[in-house]
Amino acid sequence: MELLTTPSPSSMEMAIQKKWMAYIKPFAHDIRTDDAGNVIGVLNPEADFKVLLAGHSDEIGFVITRIEEDGFLRFSKMGGISPKIAVGMKVEILGYRKTITGVIGANAEHHGGVKDKVEFEDLYMDCGARSREEIAQFVQVGDLAVYKRDPEWLMDRYITGRGLDNRTGAFIVAEVLRKLSEKQIHVGVYAASTVNEETNLGGAYFAAAGVNPTMAIACDVTFATDYPGVNQTKYGDVKLEHGPVLAKGAPINRKINGLIEQSAKALNMDIQYELTPRNTGTDADRMRYTGNGVPIALVSLPLRYMHSPVETVSIKDIEAEIDLLVHMIEHLSGNESLNPLVD
């Protein structure tokens, strides 16, 4: 919950990274940072076989593009955010001198209502300022903003809020590191809270290039399809509370998937599948193309209402993914071959 209440729009992850680093400090054998802003907690750094886990800490948001004479703020997106959802929402503007509250104006139905095809250039933020000079004391072009939305529990089983994509992944890799710190492991474990995934995947590149891992697993979210109006024939059948989602496709290393599936079987755990035929759209894609090439897998958390202020996940699925990854890594000998042509 502390991570979820900390604004971390892509390129401005410093505050959340410091909290994540403080959390892992008691159990990580080593903590590393880099010039991209990643934080990496390490166990067993002497091991030749290295497992890199990556959960990105950044969230989608907005970037201020213009300050109007009358004090209203024009803005665009920072990451894949929809203008339709933004209409009428409260925002927290992370100004260069002060964080302030604003609202995204919505034209009253009496005056014609919101356009059917709304674009970002149709929208503005109202902070209550009377002039450009007044608001410019706190906000400048290039400052970022996020939805002003605190996380909440639904029926004591689901968490809903903004930016669960992917502060949940950053939490998961931290918890895997914590649990593995209490066990005898034979491989090096590098748990990375990465940056910039929502905009350019650059954090993942820095992390993998710096670690040079034997294998890398991205821990992200994927589209749940278990709510009204979703075409499951087109988008697949992924449900909350039915376990972590394992990606299958050309970028994915089949041997890593096999190891994960063995652990799921040993734990008597349900897992689900998604197809990523060409690429994954996650940190895994950038990690794969570092060094001499890195075998990758993608384990995802089912999430409803992607890139909205009401993203929703199951705490049961979070716990299951942590247990699954802990079991798989704990049982690695460090002698495994990930070459699909080697038996």
Domain boundaries, the chain: 14-59+162-330, 61-147
Among residues 175, 197, 311, 321, the one annotated as catalytic is 197
Nearest CA to 143 out of 198, 90, 76 is that of 76
What does the DSSP 8-state code read for residue 48? S
Alpha-carbon distance values, 20 to 28, 57, 61, 139, 173 (Å) = 12, 9, 20, 27, 10
- What distance in Å separates the CA atoms of residue 295 and residue 51, rounded to the nearest whole number? 10
- What distance in Å separates the CA atoms of residue 327 and residue 264, rounded to the nearest whole number? 9
Report the side by side order of strands in the sheet with 152-154.
152-154, 158-161, 311-314
Q: What's the CATH code, domain 61-147?
A: 2.40.30.40
- What distance in Å separates the CA atoms of residue 294 and residue 284, rounded to the nearest whole number? 9
Nearest CA to 162 out of 148, 173, 175, 174 is that of 148
pLDDT for the residue 225:
98
How confident is the model over 45-54, as pLDDT tens digits?
Answer: 999 999 999 9
How confident is the prediction along the chain (343 residues), in pLDDT tens digits per residue?
999 999 999 999 999 999 999 999 999 999 999 999 999 999 999 999 999 999 999 999 999 999 999 999 999 999 999 999 999 999 999 999 999 999 998 777 776 777 778 899 999 999 999 999 999 999 999 999 999 999 999 999 999 999 999 999 999 999 999 999 999 999 999 999 999 999 999 999 999 999 999 999 999 999 999 999 999 999 999 999 999 999 999 999 999 999 999 999 999 999 999 999 999 999 999 999 999 999 999 999 999 999 999 999 999 999 999 999 999 999 999 999 999 999 8
In 3-state terms, what secondary structure has residue 84? helix
Q: Is 68 a catalytic residue?
A: no
> 109 CB contacts (<8 Å, ≥6 apart)?
none
Q: What's the CATH code, domain 14-59+162-330?
A: 3.40.630.10
Report the side by side order of strands in the sheet with 215-223.
30-33, 39-43, 188-194, 50-56, 215-223, 296-303, 245-248, 272-275
pLDDT for the residue 111:
67
